[in-house]
């Protein structure tokens, strides 16, 4: 079989998310429920979840989740990691054997901290070093793929329907203050474990429904800054763009949203607040190559919050609801009702209007 | 006849509906798509959240939803009536070519996209609240009414209404001073004759959802129509 990244088949998808603003932790069961009424939006070629706050006992360590094609690859990868990191724990990620999920690679996780001596030698900050190491493994180590690399968070993804993937990874045994989910209907690539969503880098994870037409323009720009897009999927480039804008360039979430889903010039001209108008102009001008065109609805997960965003034309659906301290986001209202039948304030954010939900200070 | 939808997929629900001679109520609906697709002779009431493309190709049946509906309500509907006691998602009345849709609350983006009309087939969509951006995009026929009932200070429609509109009519309960229309359409206050037509839709809206008719009628209405029979003449080639 030609693996993902080497072939392109010119999708529909389902996304959902839940967050407790009070930082209350919940198992992954609710988010799995959300995916059931949206079953038909996926075709069984990918499902995945990201949970935040799930590793409190290792919260100071980067949790690297890896797919490896064989034992030797896993061992080689571990040896490589050992040269650069202190590994406090390495283990198989527990899964359930089930007929719906087959052909699983070796799925392993390491809790690591970069060696101080290595960081000092390279004069890099910790996050940058981890990001570069992930890129290095994913591009240079044949058969190994890091699919999650944040602190106190983790992604779990596979080829299969999302509700089965949730069972497979035993998400009922994890507790997090926020969860995102994705059901995949790949249209451009054949669907491999690594290509399922969420896509992550450090603690940023992205689930995405859509088909962006600016992929190559975005990719050419972002690869100038050391990111390497290995899978030809648009979600990967969105993840790197957000990491670049937020972590590297230190834009706020809203500013990043105004870059990737920039308002039309005609809409910017109508902005009456001069400061806002100039800022929108500035962002659109400076980061013109990071404008994402074509239909998308995404949920960005990060430590302490979520951001939901539609393309500016709103060519994909997205609904938000809430109850008490919980906020729900999904492609369909039915998915929200599956998580919480009594959810209120159901609304559809406008195209390009980011919905940013954060956990109260000190609660995560 | 009551159909419990909880454990049924969309096909099973539609099969159950088709198998009944009587009117039906579907309870516990949660995201099943295509409910009532193509039906011509039933009255269906739905509790819960029906999935996308509710009443697609509807051909004369009546569907009432006691709550919100999702995307593409009445997609390519030909005849019949859909009544939503809540809000609808994006692309309500997509390519609709007959029948009526009444929405108590708001509509998402692209309501009435590519509606069309032919002779006595004149589809009507009435939105009680606000409509999202691209209302009546590529509208080719039929009538879109937005009432802005219970509205706050927000505009009655989002950005870019009537983009590509080249037929039909849009009626907005607003002076539209804050709305930019594209060049190929004209917006003007409703004429007395048009007010009579508007009253017909408002009366039915109030009957269905329990609003006071005089409250709604006591307002300025704007009628938007494309400028000519063929607004795109010579846009691409001289024809």
Q: Which of A267, A332, A346 is nearest residue B31 as measured by Cβ atoms? A: A332
State the pLDDT at residue A298: 96
Give yes or no for residue B203 having a pLDDT over 60.
yes
Q: Which residue of B has its CA nearest to A312?
A: B133
Domains in chain B, start-ordered, CATH in brackets?
87-226 (2.160.20.60)
State the pLDDT at residue A211: 87
Q: Is the residue at A2 inside a domain?
A: no
With CB atoms and an 8 Å threshold, state whether B70 touches A346. Answer: no
The distance of B70 to chain A (nearest Cα, Å) reads: 7
Give yes or no for residue B233 having a pLDDT over 90.
no
State the pLDDT at residue A154: 98
Of B207, B26, B220, the closest CA to residue B126 belongs to B207
**Does A267 lie at the interface with B, CB-CB under 8 angstroms?**
yes
Query: Is-contact B19 B38, C-beta < 8 A?
Result: no
State the pLDDT at residue B206: 98
In chain A, what residues touch B85 (CB-CB under 8 Å)? none
Half-sphere exposure of B51 (CA within 13 A, CB side): 24
* Contact residues of B toward A, CB < 8 A: 10, 30-33, 48-49, 51-52, 68, 70-71, 87, 89-90, 108-109, 132-134, 158-159
Which mean pLDDT values do the consecutive 10-residue runs of chain A (364 residues) have?
52 88 97 96 92 97 97 96 96 97 96 96 95 94 95 97 97 98 80 88 95 92 91 87 97 97 94 96 97 95 97 94 98 97 95 97 86
State the pLDDT at residue A186: 77
State the pLDDT at residue B21: 83
Of A162, A172, A164, A134, the closest CA to residue A54 belongs to A172
In chain B, what residues touch A38 (CB-CB under 8 Å)? 31
In chain B, what residues touch A317 (CB-CB under 8 Å)? 70-71, 89-90, 108
Mean pLDDT across the stretch B66-71?
Answer: 97
With CB atoms and an 8 Å threshold, state whether B49 touches A350. Answer: no
State the pLDDT at residue A230: 82
Structural domain including A285 reads: 14-358
Q: Which of A314, A338, A346 is nearest residue B90 as measured by Cβ atoms? A: A314
Query: Is-contact A187 A42, C-beta < 8 A?
Result: no
Helices A126-140 and A71-84: crossing angle in degrees, nearest 10, is 150
**Which DSSP letter does residue B64 get?**
E
Per the model's pLDDT, the better-predicted residue between B228 and A350 turns out to be: A350
Q: Which residue of A has its CA nearest to B49?
A: A334
Question: What's the mean per-residue pLDDT of chain B?
Answer: 94
The distance of B31 to chain A (nearest Cα, Å) reads: 5
Of A310, A292, A306, A317, the closest CA to residue A351 belongs to A310
Of A202, A131, A153, A167, the closest CA to residue A36 belongs to A167
In chain B, what residues touch A209 (CB-CB under 8 Å)? none
With CB atoms and an 8 Å threshold, state whether B158 touches A350. Answer: yes
- Count: domains in chain A: 1
pLDDT tens across B149-179, in order?
Answer: 986 778 999 999 999 999 999 999 999 999 9
In chain B, what residues touch A348 (CB-CB under 8 Å)? 89-90, 108-109, 132
With CB atoms and an 8 Å threshold, state whether B89 touches A319. Answer: yes
Is A13 in the active site? yes
The distance of A64 to chain B (nearest Cα, Å) reads: 36
Look up residue A257 and give its two tokens: 């949203």
Residue A160 Ramachandran class (φ > 0 left, ψ -120 to 50 alpha, else beta): left
Q: Is the residue at A9 inside a domain?
A: no
With CB atoms and an 8 Å threshold, state whether B158 touches A319. Answer: no
**Does A352 lie at the interface with B, CB-CB under 8 angstroms?**
no
The distance of B49 to chain A (nearest Cα, Å) reads: 6
The distance of B150 to chain A (nearest Cα, Å) reads: 16
- Cα–Cα dist A81/A320, whole Å: 40
**Does A317 lie at the interface with B, CB-CB under 8 angstroms?**
yes
Instruction: Please report, for the domain that includes residue A130, its CATH number.
Output: 3.60.20.10
In chain A, what residues touch B51 (CB-CB under 8 Å)? 37, 332, 334
Q: The complex's ipTM? A: 0.92
E strand residue ranges, chain B: 2-4, 24-30, 43-49, 59-65, 79-84, 100-103, 124-127, 140-146, 167-172, 185-189, 222-226
Q: Which of A37, A314, A351 is nearest residue B30 as measured by Cβ atoms? A: A37
Burial class (CB in 10 A: 0-12, 13-18, 19+), B73: buried
Give yes or no for residue B197 having a pLDDT over 70.
yes
CB neighbourhood size of A109 (10 A): 19
State the pLDDT at residue A10: 41
- Cα–Cα dist A308/A17, whole Å: 9
State the pLDDT at residue A12: 66
pLDDT tens across A49-89, in order?
Answer: 999 999 999 999 999 999 999 999 999 999 999 999 999 99
- Cα–Cα dist B201/B187, whole Å: 19
Of A154, A130, A157, A149, the closest CA to residue A56 belongs to A154
Give yes or no for residue B116 having a pLDDT over 90.
yes
The distance of B65 to chain A (nearest Cα, Å) reads: 14
State the pLDDT at residue A363: 85
Q: Which of A338, A346, A350 is nearest residue B68 as measured by Cβ atoms? A: A346
In chain A, what residues touch B49 (CB-CB under 8 Å)? 332-334, 337
With CB atoms and an 8 Å threshold, state whether B132 touches A348. Answer: yes
With CB atoms and an 8 Å threshold, state whether A337 touches B89. Answer: no
Q: Is the residue at A75 inside a domain?
A: yes
Q: Is the residue at A364 inside a domain?
A: no
């Amino acid at each position: 079989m030609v693996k993902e990244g080497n072939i392109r088949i010119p999708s529909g998808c389902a996304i959902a998310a839940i967050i407790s603003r009070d930082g209350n932790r919940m198992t992954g069961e609710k988010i799995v429920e959300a995916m059931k009424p949206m079953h038909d939006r996926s075709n069984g070629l990918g499902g995945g979840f990201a949970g935040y706050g799930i590793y409190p006992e290792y919260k100071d360590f980067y949790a690297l989740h890896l797919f490896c094609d064989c034992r030797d690859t896993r061992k080689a990868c571990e040896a490589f990691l050992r040269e650069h990191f202190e590994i406090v724990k390495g283990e198989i990620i527990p899964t359930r054997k089930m007929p719906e999920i087959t052909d699983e690679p070796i799925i392993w996780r390491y809790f690591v901290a970069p060696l101080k001596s290595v960081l000092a030698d390279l004069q890099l900050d910790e996050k940058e070093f981890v990001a570069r190491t992930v890129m290095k493994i994913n591009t240079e180590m044949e058969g190994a793929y890091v699919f999650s690399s944040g602190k106190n968070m983790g992604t779990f993804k596979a080829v299969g329907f999302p509700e089965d993937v949730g069972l497979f990874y035993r998400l009922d045994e994890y507790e997090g203050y926020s969860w995102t989910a994705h059901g995949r209907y790949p249209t451009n690539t054949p669907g491999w474990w690594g290509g399922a969503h969420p896509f992550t880098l450090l603690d940023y994870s992205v689930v995405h429904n859509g088909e962006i037409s600016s992929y190559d323009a975005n990719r050419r720009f972002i690869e100038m800054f050391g990111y390497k897009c290995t899978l030809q999927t648009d979600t990967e480039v969105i993840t790197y763009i957000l990491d670049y804008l937020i972590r590297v360039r230190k834009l706020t979430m809203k500013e990043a949203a105004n870059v990737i889903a920039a308002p039309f010039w005609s809409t910017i001209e109508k902005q009456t607040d001069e400061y806002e108008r100039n800022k929108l102009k500035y962002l659109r001008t400076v980061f013109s190559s990071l404008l994402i065109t074509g239909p998308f609805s995404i949920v960005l997960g990060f430590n302490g919050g979520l951001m939901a965003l539609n393309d500016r034309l709103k060519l994909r659906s997205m609904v938000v609801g809430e109850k008490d301290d919980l906020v729900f986001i999904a492609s369909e209202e039915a998915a929200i009702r599956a998580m919480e039948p009594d959810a209120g304030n159901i609304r559809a954010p406008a195209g390009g209007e980011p919905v940013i939900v954060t956990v109260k200070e000190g609660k995560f | 006849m009551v159909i419990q939808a909880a454990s049924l997929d969309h096909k099973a629900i539609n099969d159950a509906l088709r198998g009944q001679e009587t009117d039906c109520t579907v309870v516990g609906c949660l995201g099943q798509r295509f409910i009532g697709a193509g039906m011509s002779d039933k009255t269906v009431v739905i509790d819960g959240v029906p999935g996308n493309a509710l009443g697609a190709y509807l051909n004369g049946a009546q569907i009432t939803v006691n709550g919100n509906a999702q995307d593409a309500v009445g997609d390519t509907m030909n005849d019949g009536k859909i009544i939503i006691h809540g809000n609808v998602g994006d692309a309500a009345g997509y390519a609709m070519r007959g029948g009526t849709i009444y929405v108590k609350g708001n509509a998402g983006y692209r309501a009435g996209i590519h509606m069309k009309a032919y002779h006595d087939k004149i589809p009507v969509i009435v939105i009680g609240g606000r409509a999202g951006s691209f209302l009546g995009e590529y509208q080719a026929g039929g009538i879109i009414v937005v009432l802005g009932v219970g509205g706050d200070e927000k505009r009655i429609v989002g950005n870019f209404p009537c983009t590509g509109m080249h037929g039909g009519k849009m009626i907005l309960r607003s002076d539209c001073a804050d709305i930019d229309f594209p060049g190929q359409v004209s917006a003007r206050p409703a004429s007395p004759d048009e007010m009579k037509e508007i009253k017909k839709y408002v009366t039915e809206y109030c009957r269905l959802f329990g609003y006071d008719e005089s409250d709604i009628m006591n307002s300025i209405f704007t009628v938007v129509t494309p400028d000519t029979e063929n607004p795109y003449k010579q846009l691409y080639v001289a024809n």
